[in-house]
C-alpha cells in the first residue's frame, strides 16, 4: 500500500494546533504517538494511518467548537464512532483530526408515547434496545457489531443488520438528527413528526459517510416487541438450493423478519467456536425468523417449511422457545468472530444483488476462491440479497493481501454485473471508492460531488472517501471527476 502524502505545512503547526484543541476540549485530546496507535485504523485493518490528533468531545457545543476551529485553520476532520466500519470509512488522515464521538453516550429522552428515543451519537446500537426492552420495545436495526457500534456511525453508514429485511435499514428507523456543519453551525433535520415538510435532507444525511458534517443527536424510532417469534433452521445439500428457497419464499408473498444463509465453511467455523448445534454435513443452512401474531407465525412457518422441502431441504427445525431461538441465532451472530479464528486476516465484503441471482453469484464466488487460492466463507442477509463473503488471507504472506483485494473487487464487479450495487450497509469508504465508476457515470458522480461542495466547500470532511477522484470545489459548487481514476493525494490507492 502506498502511504498517504501528508501536508507538511499542517505538520509544522502540529504543536500549536494541538494546544488550541486542548483549550477547546481540555480533557479530550490524544496526541501522544503511542496512544494514537489505538486510532490508526477501523475494522478494515489492512490500512493504517495515525491522525494528527484525536479529539473526544463530550457535548455538541464542543463538536461545534472543534469544527469551527478546523474550518478556520483548514484542518481536515474524520468523524469516528466506535471504529467498527468495514469499508475504511473511519480511516484517519495523517494531517487531520480524528473526531471521536464515543464519549457522547447519553440517552437524552425515551418517549414511549411517540415510540421514539433521543440519543447522543455515541450510544451503542444495542444500548437503545436495552434501555427500552423492559417496556416491551426495541430498536430494529441490528448490525452484527451492535454491542459496540454507535448510533451516530449507524446513521453515517445507513447500517442494516439481520432484521433489515422486514424492518428496514437505519434510514427506515430514523426520525431526526441534529447535525453539525463543517463550519460548526448546527441544524436539525426531521424530528418526532412522522412527515416533516420540505426537502428530505434527513435522507440525504443518512448514509453520507461523514462527508457532509457530524451527527450530534439522533431521534430513533422504537418498535413494540412482536407477540410471537420463531426461528427456522433449514439445512440444504447445496448453497444454490438455499438461495433459490429464499427467492421462492419472498415470491410467495411471505416477508420474514430475517433470512440468513451460511455456507458449510461458515457452519463448521461456528460449530468449532460456540457449538450452536447446526446440522452436520449440509452444504448450507438457512435461518428464517418469522414474527407477528401467533396464528400468523404458525401459518407462515408451514408455508416456509413446504417451500424449503420443495427446494430440496434436508431438515427443517423450528424453535420451541425464546432460548431455543437464541440458540439458533447464536452461530450466525458469532460468524465473523468464528471465521477470524481460522486465518490471521479477513476481508468482509459487502455487495447487494437481486435475490434471483443468488445461485449464480454464489457459484461464481466458489469458483473465484479456487482461482485466487484463498478460502472464503459466505455469511449473508439472504432475504435482501446483501452478501458478506469473508475472504481469508495472511498479510504476512507475500501476495496474500493483493490477491484478497483483487478477489473482493471481482465479487463487487459481479454484483453490479447481475444488476446489484456495490454496498448494502458497510458504505463505500476507501474500499469501494475506485469501483464507483462501475455504477455511476462521470455526470452522476459530479452531481453527488456538487452536494458535497454545498455542505463542505473546503473539502475538509472525511477527505478521500467515497468519490474515486475529486478536485477542490470551484466557484459554482462544481466538483470534477476525471475518469474515476485520479485519487486524493493523501489517501492510499487501493
pLDDT per residue as tens digits for the range 432-454: 999 999 999 999 999 999 999 99
Q: 198 falls in which pLDDT band (50, 70, 90)?
A: confident
201, 224, 247 — which closes off a domain? Answer: 224
Same domain, 218 and 235: no
SS3 category, 315: strand
CB distance 215 to 155 below 8 Å: yes
CB distance 222 to 174 below 8 Å: no
Q: What is the pLDDT of residue 472?
A: 54
Same domain, 380 and 275: yes
Same domain, 179 and 163: yes
- pLDDT(157) > 70: yes
- pLDDT(110) > 70: yes
Query: Which region among 283-292, 334-343, 359-368, 380-389 has the lowest average model confidence (pLDDT)?
Result: 334-343
SS3 category, 352: strand
Domain that holds residue 79: 8-100
Which CATH number goes with the domain that contains 129?
3.30.465.10
81, 100, 119 — which closes off a domain? Answer: 100
Residue 367 belongs to a domain: yes
Residue 146 belongs to a domain: yes
SS3 category, 446: helix
CB distance 101 to 222 below 8 Å: no
- pLDDT(457) > 80: yes
Q: Spell out the residues 6+ positions from residue 341 whose beta carbon is closer than 8 angstroms to its own.
A: 269, 272, 273
Q: What is the pLDDT of residue 473?
A: 63
CB distance 471 to 451 below 8 Å: no
Same domain, 162 and 301: no
Handedness of CA 32, 37, 40, 41 (dihedral sign): negative
Strand segments (E) across 277-344: 284-292, 315-318
Residue 455 belongs to a domain: no
213: left (phi over 0), alpha (psi -120 to 50) or beta: left
The Cα-based distances of 35 to 38, 40, 249 in angstroms read: 6, 10, 51
Residue 485 belongs to a domain: no
The Cα-based distances of 19 to 231, 286, 363, 406 in angstroms read: 55, 55, 56, 43
Residue 481 belongs to a domain: no
Q: 470 falls in which pLDDT band (50, 70, 90)?
A: low
Same domain, 338 and 398: yes
- pLDDT(122) > 60: yes
Rounded to the nearest angstrom, the gap between the alpha carbon of residue 262 and the centroid of all alpha carbons in its chain is 19
CA–CA separation, 473 and 18 (whole Å): 27
Q: Which residue in 417, 418, 424, 440 sits closest to 389, CA to CA? A: 424
Residue 469 belongs to a domain: no
**What is the full DSSP assignment across 170-217?**
GGGGEEEEEEE-TTS-EEEEE-SSSS-SS--HHHHHTT-TTSS-EEEE
Same domain, 304 and 289: yes
Residue 317 belongs to a domain: yes
Same domain, 192 and 268: no
70, 100, 130 — which closes off a domain? Answer: 100
Query: Which region among 190-194, 286-290, 296-300, 325-329 has the lowest average model confidence (pLDDT)?
Result: 190-194
Number of separate domains in the chain = 3
Same domain, 217 and 231: no
Helix intervals (H) in 311-399: 322-333, 335-340, 358-372
Same domain, 156 and 68: no
Which CATH number goes with the domain that contains 398?
3.40.462.10
The model's pTM:
0.91
Same domain, 188 and 89: no
Q: What is the pLDDT of residue 299?
A: 97
Query: Which region among 12-26, 32-46, 199-213, 276-290 has the lowest average model confidence (pLDDT)?
Result: 32-46
Same domain, 96 and 16: yes
Residue 462 belongs to a domain: no
Which CATH number goes with the domain that contains 57?
3.30.43.10
Same domain, 363 and 382: yes
Amino acid at each position: 500500500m502506498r502511504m498517504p502524502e501528508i501536508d507538511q505545512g499542517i505538520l509544522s503547526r502540529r504543536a500549536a494546533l494541538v494546544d488550541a484543541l486542548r483549550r477547546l476540549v481540555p480533557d479530550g485530546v490524544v496526541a501522544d504517538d503511542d496512544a494514537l496507535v489505538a486510532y490508526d485504523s477501523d475494522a478494515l485493518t489492512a490500512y493504517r494511518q495515525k491522525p494528527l490528533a484525536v479529539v473526544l468531545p463530550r457535548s455538541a457545543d464542543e463538536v461545534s467548537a472543534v469544527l469551527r476551529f478546523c474550518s478556520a485553520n483548514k484542518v481536515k476532520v474524520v468523524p469516528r464512532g466506535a471504529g467498527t466500519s468495514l469499508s475504511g470509512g473511519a480511516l484517519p488522515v495523517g494531517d487531520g483530526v480524528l473526531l471521536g464521538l464515543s464519549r457522547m453516550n447519553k440517552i437524552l429522552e425515551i418517549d414511549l408515547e411517540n415510540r421514539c428515543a433521543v440519543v447522543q451519537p455515541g450510544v451503542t446500537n444495542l444500548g437503545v434496545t436495552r434501555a427500552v426492552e423492559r417496556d416491551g420495545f426495541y430498536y430494529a436495526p441490528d448490525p452484527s457489531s451492535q454491542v459496540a457500534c454507535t448510533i451516530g456511525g449507524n446513521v453515517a453508514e445507513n447500517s442494516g443488520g439481520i432484521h433489515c429485511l422486514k424492518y428496514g435499514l437505519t434510514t427506515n428507523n430514523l426520525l431526526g438528527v441534529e447535525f453539525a456543519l463543517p463550519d460548526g453551525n448546527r441544524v436539525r433535520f426531521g424530528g418526532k413528526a412522522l412527515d416533516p415538510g420540505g426537502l428530505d435532507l434527513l435522507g440525504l444525511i443518512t448514509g453520507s459517510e461523514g462527508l457532509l458534517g457530524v451527527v450530534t443527536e439522533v431521534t430513533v424510532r422504537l418498535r413494540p416487541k412482536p407477540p410471537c417469534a420463531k426461528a427456522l433452521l433449514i439445512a440444504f445439500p447445496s448453497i444454490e438450493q438455499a438461495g433459490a428457497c429464499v427467492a421462492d419464499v419472498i415470491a410467495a408473498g411471505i416477508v420474514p423478519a430475517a433470512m440468513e444463509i451460511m455456507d458449510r465453511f461458515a457452519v463448521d467455523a461456528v460449530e468449532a467456536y460456540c457449538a450452536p448445534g447446526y446440522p452436520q454435513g449440509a452444504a448450507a443452512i438457512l435461518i428464517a425468523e418469522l414474527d407477528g401474531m401467533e396464528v400468523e407465525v404458525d401459518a407462515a412457518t408451514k408455508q416456509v417449511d413446504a417451500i424449503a422441502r420443495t427446494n430440496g431441504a434436508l431438515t427443517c427445525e423450528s424453535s420451541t422457545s425464546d432460548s431455543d431461538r437464541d440458540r439458533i441465532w447464536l452461530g450466525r451472530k458469532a460468524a465473523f468472530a468464528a471465521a477470524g479464528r481460522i486465518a490471521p486476516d479477513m476481508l468482509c465484503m459487502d455487495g447487494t444483488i437481486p435475490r434471483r441471482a443468488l445461485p449464480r453469484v454464489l457459484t461464481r464466488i466458489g469458483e473465484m476462491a479456487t482461482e485466487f487460492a484463498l478460502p472464503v466463507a459466505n455469511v449473508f442477509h439472504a432475504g435482501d440479497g446483501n452478501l458478506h463473503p469473508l475472504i481469508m488471507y495472511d498479510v504476512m504472506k507475500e501476495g496474500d493481501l493483493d490477491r484478497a483485494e483483487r478477489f473482493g473487487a471481482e465479487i463487487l464487479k459481479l454484483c453490479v454485473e447481475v444488476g446489484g450495487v456495490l454496498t448494502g450497509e458497510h458504505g463505500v469508504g476507501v474500499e469501494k471508492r475506485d469501483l464507483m465508476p462501475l455504477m455511476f457515470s462521470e455526470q452522476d458522480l459530479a452531481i453527488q460531488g456538487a452536494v458535497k461542495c454545498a455542505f463542505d466547500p473546503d473539502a475538509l470532511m472525511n477527505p478521500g472517501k467515497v468519490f474515486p477522484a475529486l478536485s477542490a470545489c470551484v466557484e459554482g459548487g462544481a466538483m470534477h471527476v476525471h475518469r474515476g481514476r485520479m485519487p486524493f493525494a493523501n489517501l492510499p490507492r487501493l
